[in-house]
Chains A and B, each alone.
Chain A
Amino acid sequence: MSTKSLVYILKRIVLAALTVFVVITITFFVMHAVPGGPFLSEKAVSPGVLKALEAKYGLDKPLLTQFFNYLSGIFTRLDFGPSLQLRGREVLDIIVGGMKTSFKLGVIASALALISGIVLGSVAALRRNKIADNIIMVITTAFVSMPSFIMGSLLLVLFTIKYTVFPANGSTSAGLILPIITLSLYPMAYITRLTRSSMLDVLGQDYIRTAKSKGVPRIRIIFGHALKNSLIPVITYFGPMFAYIVTGSLVVEQIFAVPGIGRAFVNSITGRDYPLIMGTTIVLASLIVIMNLVSDILYKIVDPRINLD
């Protein structure tokens, strides 16, 4: 690898670290700008109890001290503090517990999106302007324009209420099928379009013509020459796809009652559970930033010709 790419990768890592720090800072100060503080939202608490509570959670110290305590808690002990709504539970426990389900959901959905997207995209490119291509393009255009919550709700109506095919409750394995499909449709449509256009681009290249004129069989040209190169742009979509699946799972888990991190996040917002909001935002945001970093670096390694700056 050239020094130039190394410098680029280093730059990206520094930017990512800086971004994570900015996320933590914004989250902390925004949350502390809420009028009244976390204990005022529920039933009235006497001033004495309030003081004791604030002392217990360190809320009586100056804001900067609190910030550095919070930072050191995160980086040294992965400590996001206790949850306010679910008494006696640590934020980290809730996040880890929710992550298990959400991770399963996200990984299967991305795998589904990748495989079907690449297959459909290649089919569309190879059958350009024929019926298969047109059908695929119309369907993917519709999917790209449909918000995930609409898609999820419509699937819920169709398959659990109109025709009882799947259970509506997402806490069982069979109940995860619909949320997975909902989450994968948008990235699938996007990957299909991405693969189609890059495949068309590659098929027009000189080396494909050379291979054709040498008499290489069509199958070998597609799988041996075209597919590999046309998948490079798909790598850049890894980061955004991860971000989409994270934000999409917020509503999808809500719709299908999946006990994942997304539902914990949404519930923490409606319940004003500030430590949980902060913890979840920081963890999810950092994951998204890291995935973007990985996909950018991977892109650079796979195709060193590309100058990203």
Chain B
Amino acid sequence: MKKSAFSLHVDLESFMPASAEDKEYMVQMRPSSTFFKDGIKRLRRNKVAIVSFYIVLFITLASIVLPMLWPYSYESMLGVVPGKPVDASYNNLSPFKYGSTELRKIEAGEKVFPHVFGTDSSGRDYFIRVVYGARISLSVGFFASIIVLVIGLTIGAISGYFGGKVDLILMRIVDIIYSLPDMLMIILLASVLRVSLGPAIENTIFAKLGSNVISLFIVFGALYWVSMSRLIRGQILNLREQEYVLAARASGARGPRIITKHLLPNCMSVIIISTALQIPSAIFTESYLSFLGLGVNAPMPSLGSLASEALNGLTTYPYRLVIPAIVISLIVLSLNLFGDGLRDAFDPKLRT
């Protein structure tokens, strides 16, 4: 039916039944997506976070795999052979230089694996020490965060769930621990614990880790749980009162469904994000303590203790400081950026 452009007649075509094609267009195309799929999708779009993730993954894998393949170990002094005087030519080798016995081997046509970063003042292969140091730093950071997570989650959940007097008392304790100057207390506790723990853990599986690492974990567990527990308590208190929880309850949902479908997923993002951001801060603290000589027991290297050992020969071997410095900054920076990316992806409310 032809219709003039200015006619006020109703366009009948607008009132025709919809064709199958039109109907399909109106159907919601996107399949419903879960909270995690959604978050991962957002995370994938964040290039900085992805690059950081791969850097962390690379360093982690390297620190696990390389010590297995490398022909040198982090503690063996290459110049020391049982029954012979110490061969000083192995100490303080520059990168890609060899000790006296190795040079003889090379002349004889044998292949000797190069010391990529040279050796340290006791003749230990420096490359593997850096790799091992990264491994120690990463694992201390990871396990310390797990400890913090478990303690913080338990106390925060108890506080938020029971409320009332329990909440009041727990939160006052949290307040006081929170206002303690953490670094000073950590130094104090670490300096004492490493002395008093030594005899206590002898002949147990912990002895292998060394008293200093255990004392680090204790200190982290004792002091850093407070912010996590505050966060989780606040989250639970807040979520309990949300309208969608009320709506779920009104439409007949029971406790377990509300907990698994509403409370947990919403807490989850906070838990993941703050644990992810806890790891770099734990690595930071560990390297700081190691730098002061309060970290891991010698001869175990950590990035902080490597940096502090390097200070002695700084004029001649500046690269021995620069290498662990770069590795530690890279780890902390990428973990921070990845944590920020996680926060943006999983907690859109916090996004600025």
Residue numbers of A with Cβ under 8 A of B are: 15-16, 18-19, 22-23, 26-27, 30-31, 33-35, 141-142, 144-150, 153-154, 156-157, 161-162, 197, 243, 246-247, 250-251, 254-255, 265-266, 269-270, 277, 281, 284-285, 288-289, 292
Q: Is B57 an interface residue (CB 8 A)?
A: no
Q: Is the CB of B307 within 8 A of A153?
A: yes
Q: What are 18 A-B pairs at a CB distance below 8 A?
A: A23-B180, A30-B192, A35-B195, A35-B196, A145-B329, A147-B328, A148-B288, A153-B307, A153-B314, A154-B322, A157-B318, A162-B318, A243-B181, A251-B291, A269-B191, A269-B292, A288-B184, A292-B179
Q: Is the CB of A15 within 8 A of B292?
A: no
Majority DSSP secondary structure for residues of A touching B: helix
A284 and B315 CA atoms in complex are apart in Å by 33
* Contact of A157 with B314 at beta-carbon distance under 8 Å, contacts A145-B332, A251-B288 already known: yes
Q: How far is the CB of B194 from chain A (nearest CB, A)?
A: 10
Residues of B within 8 A of A288 (CB): 181, 184
Q: Is the CB of A156 within 8 A of B314?
A: yes
Chain B stretch 257-309: residues in CB contact (< 8 A) with chain A: 280, 284, 287-288, 291-294, 304, 307-308
A30 and B322 CA atoms in complex are apart in Å by 36
Q: Is the CB of A147 within 8 A of B322?
A: no
* Contact of A145 with B336 at beta-carbon distance under 8 Å, contacts A35-B199, A243-B181, A251-B288 already known: yes
Residue of A nearest to B284 (CB): A147
Residues of B within 8 A of A285 (CB): 180-181, 184-185
Residues of A within 8 A of B325 (CB): 150, 153-154
Residue of B nearest to A154 (CB): B325
A254 and B187 CA atoms in complex are apart in Å by 15
Q: How far is the CB of A262 from chain B (nearest CB, A)?
A: 10
* Contact of A19 with B188 at beta-carbon distance under 8 Å, contacts A142-B333, A154-B321 already known: no
5 nearest A-B pairs in the assembled complex, by CB-CB distance: A145-B333, A247-B183, A288-B181, A150-B325, A19-B179
Q: Is the CB of B314 within 8 A of A281?
A: no
A175 and B111 CA atoms in complex are apart in Å by 49
Pick the contact of A153: B176, B280, B321 (CB < 8 A). Answer: B321
Against A, the Cβ 8 Å flags (1 = close, 0 = not) of B323-345 are 00100110011001100000000
Q: Is the CB of A30 within 8 A of B189?
A: yes
Pick the contact of B291: A34, A149, A197 (CB < 8 A). Answer: A149
Q: Is the CB of B288 within 8 A of A147?
A: yes
Q: How far is the CB of A281 from chain B (nearest CB, A)?
A: 5
Residues of B within 8 A of A153 (CB): 307, 310-311, 314, 321, 325
* Contact of A284 with B307 at beta-carbon distance under 8 Å, contacts A34-B196, A162-B318 already known: no
Residues of A within 8 A of B199 (CB): 35
Pick the contact of A270: B179, B293, B304, B337 (CB < 8 A). Answer: B293
Q: How far is the CB of B144 from chain A (nearest CB, A)?
A: 16
Residues of A within 8 A of B175 (CB): 15
Chain B stretch 176-228: residues in CB contact (< 8 A) with chain A: 176, 179-181, 183-185, 187-189, 191-192, 195-196, 199
Q: How far is the CB of B11 from chain A (nearest CB, A)?
A: 43
Residues of B within 8 A of A145 (CB): 280, 329, 332-333, 336
Residues of B within 8 A of A19 (CB): 176, 179-180
Residues of A within 8 A of B291 (CB): 147, 149, 251
A26 and B284 CA atoms in complex are apart in Å by 24
Pick the contact of B294: A33, A162, A254, A269 (CB < 8 A). Answer: A269
Q: Is the CB of A251 within 8 A of B192?
A: no
Q: Is B34 an interface residue (CB 8 A)?
A: no
Q: Is B352 an interface residue (CB 8 A)?
A: yes
Pick the contact of B176: A15, A250, A266, A284 (CB < 8 A). Answer: A15
A34 and B200 CA atoms in complex are apart in Å by 12
Residues of A within 8 A of B180 (CB): 19, 22-23, 285
A162 and B322 CA atoms in complex are apart in Å by 13
* Contact of A31 with B314 at beta-carbon distance under 8 Å, contacts A145-B336, A153-B307, A289-B179 already known: no
A145 and B214 CA atoms in complex are apart in Å by 25
Q: Is the CB of A251 within 8 A of B311?
A: no
Q: Which of B184, B199, B310, B337 has the most CB of A within 10 A?
A: B184
Q: Is the CB of B184 within 8 A of A284?
A: yes
A33 and B195 CA atoms in complex are apart in Å by 10
* Contact of A157 with B322 at beta-carbon distance under 8 Å, contacts A31-B192, A243-B183, A251-B288 already known: yes
Residues of A within 8 A of B336 (CB): 144-145
A18 and B184 CA atoms in complex are apart in Å by 17
